Chains A and B, each alone.
Chain A
Amino acid sequence: MTTILERPTATEADPGHTPRRRPASRSDHPLWFLVPALALLGVFFIAPTVFNFVYAFTDWSSFKTEISFVGLENFRDLLGNGSLISDLRITVIYAALVAVFQNLFGLLLALLLERDTRVNRFARVAFFVPVIMSALAVGYVFQALLKPDGGLNAMLSFVLPGEVSVAWLGSTTWTVVVVALVHAWKWMGLSMLIYLAGLKTISEDVLEAARLDGASSWQVFRQIKFPLLAPAVTFNVATALLGSMNGFDIVQATTEGGPGGSTELLNIFIFRTFGQGLFAQATTMSLTLFLVVAVLAFPVIYLLRRRERVL
Chain B
Amino acid sequence: MKTNLKRRVAGVAAVAVVLLSAACSDPGSGSAASSSGEWPAQDADLSGTTLTIWAAQNSNKLPDSVISGFEDLTGADVEVVTIPDPYEQGVQTKVATGDMPDLAFWQPTASQLTALNARTNLLPLDDAPFLDDYDPALRDITGILDDTRYAALISTPAVEGVYYNKEVFEKAGITDLPTDWDSFVELGRELKKQGETPFFEMGADRWATQWWVQVQLAEAANDGLWDRVNAGEESFTDPTIQGAIDTYSDLIDEGLFNSDIKTATFEDQGKALLDGDAAMVVQVNSFFSQLQQLADTDELDQKIGFFPISAEGNVGTFIPDQSNAMVAFATGDEAQESAAKQLLSYWLGDGYGDFVEANSTVSLEPGVPTPDGVPQALLDVSASLGDSAGSMQALAIANPDLYINLADMIQGTKPPVQVAEATQEQFAQLAKAQGAEGF
Query: Does A262 sit at the interface, judged by CB under 8 A?
Result: yes
Pairwise interchain contact B96-A279, C-beta atoms closer than 8 A: yes
Query: Does B74 sit at the interface, judged by CB under 8 A?
Result: no
Query: Nearest CB to that of B422 among chain A residues?
Result: A83
Q: Can you list 23 residue pairs at the A/B interface with Cβ under 8 Å? A: A51-B20, A61-B433, A62-B28, A62-B92, A63-B114, A65-B25, A65-B29, A66-B25, A67-B24, A148-B263, A167-B263, A170-B204, A259-B413, A260-B410, A261-B411, A274-B93, A275-B88, A275-B93, A276-B401, A278-B430, A279-B96, A280-B433, A281-B429
Instruction: Using known A-B contacts A60-B26, A275-B88, A278-B430, determine if residue A172 contacts B413 with beta carbons closer than 8 Å.
Output: yes
Query: Does A77 sit at the interface, judged by CB under 8 A?
Result: yes
Query: Does B137 sit at the interface, judged by CB under 8 A?
Result: no
B residues contacting A by CB (< 8 A) are: 1, 4, 16, 19-20, 23-26, 28-30, 86, 88-89, 92-93, 95-96, 114-117, 120, 203-204, 206, 260, 262-263, 401, 404, 407-408, 410-414, 422, 425-426, 429-430, 433-435
Instruction: Using known A-B contacts A167-B263, A258-B407, determine if residue A278 contacts B433 with beta carbons closer than 8 Å.
Output: yes
Query: Does A25 sit at the interface, judged by CB under 8 A?
Result: no
Pairwise interchain contact B23-A51, C-beta atoms closer than 8 A: yes
CB contacts (< 8 Å) of B4 on chain A: these are: 3
CB contacts (< 8 Å) of A274 on chain B: these are: 89, 93
Pairwise interchain contact B429-A64, C-beta atoms closer than 8 A: no
Q: Which 5 A-B pairs have the closest CB atoms?
A: A260-B411, A260-B413, A275-B89, A65-B29, A167-B263
CB contacts (< 8 Å) of A58 on chain B: these are: 24
CB contacts (< 8 Å) of B410 on chain A: these are: 260
CB contacts (< 8 Å) of B404 on chain A: these are: 261
Min Cβ gap A46→B in Å is 9
Query: Does A54 sit at the interface, judged by CB under 8 A?
Result: yes
Min Cβ gap B423→A in Å is 12
CB contacts (< 8 Å) of B435 on chain A: these are: 63-64
Pairwise interchain contact A260-B89, C-beta atoms closer than 8 A: no
Interface positions, chain A 159-206, Cβ under 8 Å from B, are 167, 170, 172
What's the Cα separation between A62 and B119 when bound, in Å? 12
Contact partner of A277 (CB less than 8 A), chosen from B1, B30, B115, is B115
What's the Cα separation between A68 and B430 when bound, in Å? 16
A residues contacting B by CB (< 8 A) are: 3, 47, 50-51, 54, 58-67, 77, 81, 83, 148, 167, 170, 172, 256, 258-262, 271-272, 274-281
What's the Cα separation between A152 and B300 when bound, in Å? 34
CB contacts (< 8 Å) of B26 on chain A: these are: 60, 64-67
Contact partner of B434 (CB less than 8 A), chosen from A54, A64, A275, is A64
Instruction: Using known A-B contacts A47-B19, A258-B206, A275-B92, determine if residue A77 contacts B429 with beta carbons closer than 8 Å.
Output: yes
Pairwise interchain contact B263-A170, C-beta atoms closer than 8 A: yes
Query: In this complex, which of A50, A167, A276, A279 has the most chain B Cβ atoms within 10 angstroms of its Cβ?
Result: A276
Contact partner of A260 (CB less than 8 A), chosen from B20, B117, B414, B433, is B414
What's the Cα separation between A67 and B412 when bound, in Å? 39
Instruction: Using known A-B contacts A275-B89, A278-B429, A281-B429, determine if residue A64 contacts B411 with beta carbons closer than 8 Å.
Output: no
**Interface of chain A: mostly helix, strand, loop or mixed:** loop
Min Cβ gap B422→A in Å is 8
Pairwise interchain contact A259-B25, C-beta atoms closer than 8 A: no
Pairwise interchain contact B116-A62, C-beta atoms closer than 8 A: yes
Query: Nearest CB to that of A73 among chain B residues?
Result: B432
Pairwise interchain contact A62-B263, C-beta atoms closer than 8 A: no
What's the Cα separation between A275 and B91 when bound, in Å? 9
Pairwise interchain contact A170-B262, C-beta atoms closer than 8 A: yes
Min Cβ gap B315→A in Å is 29
Query: Nearest CB to that of B405 among chain A residues?
Result: A261
Instruction: Using known A-B contacts A54-B20, A67-B24, A281-B429, determine if residue A260 contacts B408 with beta carbons closer than 8 Å.
Output: yes
Query: Nearest CB to that of B262 among chain A residues?
Result: A170
CB contacts (< 8 Å) of B24 on chain A: these are: 54, 58, 67
CB contacts (< 8 Å) of B89 on chain A: these are: 271, 274-275
What's the Cα separation between A261 and B414 when bound, in Å? 9
Given contacts A81-B425, A170-B204, A277-B92, 15 further A-B pairs with CB under 8 A are A50-B20, A58-B24, A61-B433, A63-B115, A66-B25, A170-B262, A172-B411, A259-B407, A259-B411, A271-B89, A276-B401, A276-B430, A277-B115, A279-B96, A281-B433
Pairwise interchain contact A62-B413, C-beta atoms closer than 8 A: no
What's the Cα separation between A195 and B1 when bound, in Å? 49
